Amino acid sequence: MPTSITTVASKGAPLSAAEFDANLVNLKATADAAKSSVDALTGPAIIDIVKGNDGPGSEIDADLLDGAHGSYYDHRTNGLGDLLSNHVVTDADTATETGFYEMSGTLSNQPAGETQGYLQTFKKSTTSILQVFFSPASQKAFIRSYATDTWGAWVSVAGSGAGVTNGDSHDHVGGDGAQIDHGGLAGIADDDHTQYVRHNLATADSDMLVGQAAGSWIKKTLAEVKTMLGLGSAAYTASTDYAVAAKGVTGGDGHDHTGGAGATIDHGVLSGLADDDHTQYTKHSLATAANDFLVASGSGAFVKKTQVETLAILTTGVTAGISIVIDGSGSVITTGIKGDIEIPYACTLTAGRMFADASGSVTVSLWRDTYANFPPVVGDLLDTYAISSATKMEETGISISLAAGDIIRFNVDSCSTITRVTVALRLTRT
């Protein structure tokens, strides 16, 4: 496309008519050629021309919109529309730019008790930020804000399920976490507490409530109560209304008690005070010997136990130990029977150990029999302990019942190097 017009060269004087006409002819030819070139341009050709003139300073920079590059408007840089797994944070305090984040891993500054969730940040300025945390585990949402260089506390704003929930997930009168005020509830005057008796059961002065069955009261008038108690009619006029024959104390006002007319009955002067009328108490006479004990036999019941019986109760399950030392007097222990011990009470053998004075090997068999069948023999084998090229051994996880009075004999089956060994038994009383 032409970019200049051919004119008559300047000659330093006014143009002649012919020269001026020639310039007009050239100007029209140039304009016609430019128009033809523009008319011949296609869309792609126009775009090529624009691209060729693009760039800073051209005033037609197509990479900017309102002075900002296209990346400024890319929503993915803020986590919007992108996978949250590409925007993971572990510290909520660091997620200060507007957008969505995933919180996973070892978290800090998240709502208390939450170990994973999703975070949304709304940033107004560097000093005004709002965050919302969504918990897929607890089905709760939490909110906090940042102002004056300080993050506020997380506050629960929603929870799973319906109705009022525990914790700080609901606010009532009194501030965050305050309790519901019973007196401020709706329907407080409704008859919702069937375990109580309502005041409006009383319809007249001197009405009374009388038990009609276990856990149930019924209203009775004064006349009805007097009839029940045998006190005569409602409109009583005579003293006989107060005491009817065959109703206990008789004689109207003609009976006095300690203290004068109308005084109360003194419990201490009643007859039959020594009778066992109070089954809710335990009698002193249960004690038949010094050092007897009262021991609960169940809920609301005591039985007497002797001192021996009480000791058995207290020691059942107690673990104790007995031991025997086999000494070769400086020489290697010889084989054979080395001693006997008696079991003092019924128990269970739960473990056995041996300790030697030097590294070596020794095998000891335990024979058990009753006192009546003493002595135990090899056929009464109870257990066998062996140290092999060491100074000690232990056998655990066993449960062998022993009776009170059983005799245990210790027999050395073999020994090398060792000159002294201790055999220890662990017993749990039964």
Task: Tell whether the model's pLDDT for residue 72 goes beyond 70.
Answer: no
Q: Cα(103)–Cα(137) distance, rounded to whole angstroms?
A: 13
Phi, psi at 25, each rounded to 5°: -65, -45
Give all strands (DSSP E) within 55-116, no chain letters. 64-65, 68-69, 88-91, 99-108
* Cis status of the peptide bond prior to 44, with omega within 30 of 0: no
Select the more confidently predicted residue: 87 or 76.
Answer: 87
Highest-pLDDT range among 78-92, 107-121, 354-368: 354-368
* Cis status of the peptide bond prior to 14, with omega within 30 of 0: no
pLDDT of residue 81: 55
Q: Cα(392)–Cα(159) distance, rounded to whole angstroms?
A: 61
pLDDT of residue 4: 54
Spans of all domains in the chain: 74-158, 207-256, 278-315, 319-429
Token representation of residue 39: 């008319």
Range of weakest confidence among 65-69, 197-201, 325-329, 424-428? 65-69
Rounded to the nearest integer, the mean pLDDT of the chain is 79
**Segment 319-333, tens digit of pLDDT:** 889 999 999 999 999
pLDDT of residue 247: 45
Token representation of residue 214: 């276990």
pLDDT tier at 56 (50, 70, 90 boundaries)?
Answer: low
CA atoms within 13 A on the CB side of 73: 8
Task: Tell whether the model's pLDDT for residue 164 goes beyond 50.
Answer: no
pLDDT tier at 251 (50, 70, 90 boundaries)?
Answer: very low
* For residues 182-205, average pLDDT: 75
CATH homologous superfamily for the domain 319-429? Galactose-binding domain-like (2.60.120.260)
Task: Tell whether the model's pLDDT for residue 233 goes beyond 60.
Answer: no
Select the more confidently predicted residue: 72 or 351.
Answer: 351
pLDDT of residue 242: 46
pLDDT of residue 221: 82
Q: b vs e for 222-253, b when ≥16 Cβ sit within 10 Å of the residue's Cβ?
A: eeebbeeeebbeeeeeeeebbbeeeeeeeeee
pLDDT of residue 236: 46
Chain center to CA of 411: 56
310 and 296 Cβ atoms separated by less than 8 Å: no
